[in-house]
Amino acid sequence: MDIHRRSAKSSPSTTPQGGGGFHHLSHGHGHEIHQKNPSSSAVDHRSSSPAPKASDALPLPLYLTNAIFFTLFFTVAYYLLHRWRDKIRNSTPLHVVTLSEIAAIVSLMASFIYLLGFFGIDFVQSFIARASHDAWDLDDASDSHCHHHDFAIDQQTLKLLEPEPFISSISSEEDKAIINSVIDGTVPSYSLESKLGDCKRAASLRRQALQRMTGRSLQGLPLDGFDYDSILGQCCEMPIGYVQIPVGIAGPLSLDGYEYSVPMATTEGCLVASTNRGCKAIFASGGATSTLLRDGMTRAPVVRFASAKRASELKFFLEDPVNFETLALIFNRSSRFARLQKIQCSLAGKNLYMRFSCSTGDAMGMNMVSKGVQNVLDFLQNDFPDMDVIGISGNYCSDKKPAAVNWIEGRGNNIVSAIFIATGQDPAQNVESSHCLTMMEAVNDGRDLHISVTMPSIEVGTVGGGTQLASQSACLNLLGVKGASRESPGSNARLLATIVAGSVLAGELSLMSAIAAGQLVKSHMKYNRSRKDVSQVAY
């Protein structure tokens, strides 16, 4: 990623179609994005007291009621089918029914209506909720939404600022019993979602139980206003609330002839402002260009043999080009998008470390490559039955830790963390994704400055994990890289990687400018403080 200072030129005015992002980076192609005025949307108003639910009127817990109606439905259905088969065999008219058959028909209809009402309505509502998440794609909104938008935000802000009691009010005796059962260990806290069938209620009861067990208040940690169903089984276990992180915008970042407004989630003062200043300098210089060096994710299992000689035999087998086609076929069965690129082996005594590299489409791909590696290990076990698999990851990957191999071979700044959080990436992988070499050189007899950043290990994706959450999905949509690219799988992830590198370039340029001008400490003292602190310093 580099920028060569030159006379400013006008930016393109066409609006692009989509973009991309990725794991290893230095530089690539982009699409121009023009930021539209955000359409107003209505904010859900909820009363402070829990809303009554239909399940509260049931004599039994919801999961027991569902089990009873499921059992009833299939039992009477089997009974009626069995009876009708006998009538057909005996040439008995089907419309002639006994009292028991009438009761079975009524039971079948009742259970069907209950199951349709319970699961059918929830199924339809899930599509409605999913459609509402894409509201930012619309150019305009209804007038009623616009009228209530500002008022709704004020109400939501006031609600978050209201002090929360030490123990939230318990809506029913059933909730009280569940909380007590969690406290005494009768019901595991992690099982509340499956037992209650209501993720929001599970988080609330878990939160109240935790406060009673620890004797400490969770006042200030918001609970309302979050879709807990969206994180079940994939993003976070045993939730008790969510943390608010402000999202700022830097840009426009002029990259490869297109402009991007870069969302950054951070609590570090001056970070967004500094990046924005760098974007302004890049724009005035005619824009930055990028080149993508490689696209791939790695996983490196470690295996052990009885002797170093036996371990070396597997090393030679894996590195033999004749065997690669077979291994690739086994590996690629794990996913439609996983494609094995190479296997690199390193021997340490009786231990063999195998580093698998593969492309993963628009996903960051850690789970994808892990499944492929497991398939290969199972296949190798047939020809190497004495192979002892020590671990699916032997730190040769190397995941979520700084390592020279990631700089040399490629694999995946604070700026990186801010964009990662805003776009739903794994923040822990900021460690290896922040590998960066910044080069500056005076050119044109000292009249201009050439600056570049090389980042060999940016690990990002636009599908899976936190990218599907509403707020993170909105930030990806702003960049034009939301979801998977149908035309060119992987292009959205690759473009996102180039945008990350371009933003780092802007931040580096701004940082070096402040250091060269001797303004770094002064600027932070001025802007990275509240007004109250500034006044105290002045005194």
Which of these, 399, 486, 491, 501, lies nearest to 453 by C-alpha position? 501
Supply angle C-alpha 54, 59, 60, rounded to 5: 95
Question: Is there a contact between 378 and 408 (Cβ–Cβ < 8 Å)?
Answer: no
To the query of whether residue 268 is one of the catalytic residues in this protein, the response is: yes
Determine which one of 133, 145, 149, 400 is catalytic.
400
Question: Is there a contact between 457 and 24 (Cβ–Cβ < 8 Å)?
Answer: yes
Determine which one of 101, 164, 268, 319 is catalytic.
268
Question: Is there a contact between 456 and 463 (Cβ–Cβ < 8 Å)?
Answer: no
To the query of whether residue 36 is one of the catalytic residues in this protein, the response is: no
Query: What is the rounded CA–CA span in Å between residue 248 and residue 266?
Result: 8
Q: Where are the beta strands (DSSP E) in 215-281?
A: 247-255, 258-265
Structure tokens at 462: 């636009």
To the query of whether residue 532 is one of the catalytic residues in this protein, the response is: no
What is the separation of C-alpha 134 from the centre of its chain, rounded to a whole number of angstroms?
A: 16
Determine which one of 175, 295, 409, 426 is catalytic.
426
Determine which one of 145, 148, 371, 524 is catalytic.
524
To the query of whether residue 143 is one of the catalytic residues in this protein, the response is: no
Q: What is the DSSP string of 418-475?
A: HHHHHTT--GGGHHHHT--EEEEEEETTTTEEEEEEE-S-----SBSGGGGSHHHHHH
Q: Which whole-number Å values give the CA distances from 209 to 113, 179, 180, 183, 465, in the listed order?
A: 36, 5, 7, 6, 28
Q: What is the DSSP letter of 165?
A: P
Q: What is the DSSP letter of 172?
A: S
Query: What is the rounded CA–CA span in Å between residue 319 and residue 347?
Result: 12
H or E element at residue 318? helix 308-319
Structure tokens at 418: 């801010």
Q: At what angle do helices 62-89 and 99-115 cross, to 10 degrees?
A: 140
Catalytic residues: 268, 400, 426, 524
